């Protein structure tokens, strides 16, 4: 016999609260939140950790062609940041890296790396962060690639050089195949 039960991964995200909060902060009913509205959403979801977290995650998922972030992107951040999710996930590596890579060249400098490292592990000292950065093999401009950051800071298995901008974030979300109607 067929088993009709579908098992969805546990995410500890209160989707009803997420939908309700997103709608409450989307004053123009455009389905998009600006930076200030997004910060309020994070606070409602009890995910607001620091200004850097809000800024980096917002920049990491924002589509440059839109004036803010969509519900789907807010959902992905909430799933990636849920208490039971590892901070060292592929999804977080992509969001954080994109969030600090201002020129979108797939490489970040030491200051940008330090911001990511502080989000991944608050216990890291400045010297530990510097050692990890140096293990990422900085180029002549003292920049490191996404692939090396994913390997060394996030402990991910990465083959060759990956382009963080060609990867679709929803593919790495714990419930990427689920559809939430708002």
In this predicted model, what pLDDT tens digit does every residue of 99-133 receive, in sequence order? 999 999 999 999 999 999 999 998 999 999 999 99
Q: Domain coordinates of the chain in residue numbers?
A: 15-85, 104-152
Q: Could you tell me the end-to-end alpha-carbon distance of the chain, in angstroms, rounded to an integer?
A: 35
pLDDT of residue 86: 75
Q: Taking 50 as the threshold, does the pLDDT of residue 12 lie above it?
A: yes
Q: With pLDDT > 90 as the criterion, what percentage of the chain qualifies?
A: 70
Residue with the bigger pLDDT between 8 and 135: it is: 135
CB 92 within 8 A of CB 103: no
Between CA 52 and CA 63 the distance in angstroms is: 19
Give the tens place of pLDDT for each residue, 31-82: 999 999 999 999 999 988 788 999 999 999 999 899 999 999 999 999 888 7
Decide if pLDDT at 6 tops 80. no
Q: Is the pLDDT of residue 83 over 80?
A: no
- Going by the DSSP 8-state scheme, the letter that residue 154 receives in this structure is T
Render the burial of 24-37: b for 16+ CB within 10 Å, e for the rest.
ebbeeeeebbbeeb
pLDDT at 60: 96
Helix (H, G, I), strand (E, B) or coil at 29: coil
What CATH class has 15-85?
Answer: mainly alpha
Question: Model-level pTM?
Answer: 0.87
Instruction: List b or e across 106-145, with b for residues whose CB sees 16 or more CB atoms inside 10 angstroms.
Output: bbbbeebbbbbbbbbeeebeeeebeebbeebebeeeebbb
Q: What is the pLDDT of residue 169?
A: 86
Alpha-carbon Rg for the chain in angstroms: 17
| Average predicted confidence (pLDDT) for the chain | 88
What's residue 176's pLDDT?
55
Do 57 and 81 contact (CB within 8 A), yes or no?
A: yes
Cα gap 104→108, rounded to integer Å: 9
Q: Which residues lie closer than 8 Å to 20 by C-beta, 6 or more apart? A: none
Query: Which segment of 5-9, 50-54, 92-96, 118-122 scores lowest on mean pLDDT?
Result: 5-9
């Amino acid at each position: 016999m067929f088993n009709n039960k579908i098992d969805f991964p546990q995410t500890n995200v209160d989707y009803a609260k997420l939908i309700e909060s997103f709608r409450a902060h989307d004053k123009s009913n455009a389905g998009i939140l600006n930076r200030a509205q997004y910060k309020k959403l994070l606070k409602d979801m009890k995910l607001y950790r620091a200004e850097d977290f809000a800024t980096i995650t917002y920049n990491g998922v924002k589509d440059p062609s839109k004036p803010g972030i969509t519900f789907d992107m807010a959902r992905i951040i909430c799933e990636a940041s849920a208490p039971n999710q590892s901070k060292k996930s592929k999804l977080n590596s992509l969001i954080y890296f994109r969030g600090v890579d201002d020129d979108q060249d797939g490489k970040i400098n030491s200051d940008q790396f330090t911001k990511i490292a502080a989000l991944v592990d608050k216990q890291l000292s400045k010297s530990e962060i510097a050692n990890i950065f140096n293990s990422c093999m900085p180029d002549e401009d003292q920049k490191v690639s996404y692939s090396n950051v994913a390997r060394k800071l996030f402990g991910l298995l990465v083959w060759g050089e990956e382009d963080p901008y060609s990867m679709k974030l929803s593919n790495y979300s714990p419930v990427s195949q689920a559809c939430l109607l708002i």
